[in-house]
Chain A
Amino acid sequence: EADIYQTPRYLVIGTGKKITLECSQTMGHDKMYWYQQDPGMELHLIHYSYGVNSTEKGDLSSESTVSRIRTEHFPLTLESARPSHTSQYLCASSEWGVETEAFFGQGTRLTVV
């Protein structure tokens, strides 16, 4: 079934650790996005991609990095986690066209202690 998957769902990790949040979609979409959702539930775009080898920074500055080596895979990496990175991270994908719908994953709730 076509879907978008995020793993892990929950992650508690110590300060200074390197982490990678996984996002995969089987929808055949070229566009993918990472959003950070803060405790007040506001959504901030931190990274997006138009396709393979395309990555762009979003409106909210983030210390994370992303890669897009395969169409279906858009992982997000933090080289050295800090408590300020504690948040919910949402991955989404969509087809081309400004009028198209974005499909969201379940999210990863990251806690850095």
Chain B
Amino acid sequence: AQRVTQPEKLLSVFKGAPVELKCNYSYSGSPELFWYVQYSRQRLQLLLRHISRESIKGFTADLNKGETSFHLKKPFAQEEDSAMYYCALSNRDDKIIFGKGTRLHILP
């Protein structure tokens, strides 16, 4: 079964501290993985995708096939990072499956 697991519903981090949002997946094939973000009163939008291997707004994510993980990291949290973050998987049927989401709250 295809599944995306985000174990933390809420993560509170102090400004300037490192951030790690966890994501594990279950998929028999070779997955395409993404992180989407939803800021307050804004649309859900793509943050980054693993195939691009890029850093967006200071965030990076590395696909670890051995651990079936795609954790999102940022070395120094900023207040504007407060948002809802979703890990997502795109399968060979072109369906996009989302995790339950993690609310990141940056404390001043």
Contact = CB atoms under 8 A, between A and B. Distances in A.
Q: Answer yes or no: are A and B bound together in one complex.
A: yes
A53 B98 CA distance: 25
B86 to A, nearest CB: 7
A2 B90 CA distance: 23
B96 A45 contact: yes
Interface string A2-26: 0000000000000000000000000
A47 to B, nearest CB: 11
Contacts of A106: 43
Given A102-B46, A104-B44, A105-B43, A96 B94 contact: yes
A43 B89 CA distance: 13
B49 interface: yes
Interface string A87-113: 000101010111111111111000000
Contact of B101 (A33, A41, A102): A41
Interface residues of B, number: 24
B74 interface: no
Given A98-B32, A99-B51, A102-B46, A43 B95 contact: no
B94 A98 contact: yes
Interface residues of A, number: 27
Contacts of B91: 98
A54 B101 CA distance: 29
B57 interface: no
Contacts of B101: 41-43
B105 to A, nearest CB: 13
A33 B96 contact: yes
B80 to A, nearest CB: 19
A74 interface: no
B103 A59 contact: no
B45 interface: yes
Interface of B: 9, 32, 34, 36, 38, 43-46, 49, 51, 84, 86, 90-92, 94-98, 100-101, 103
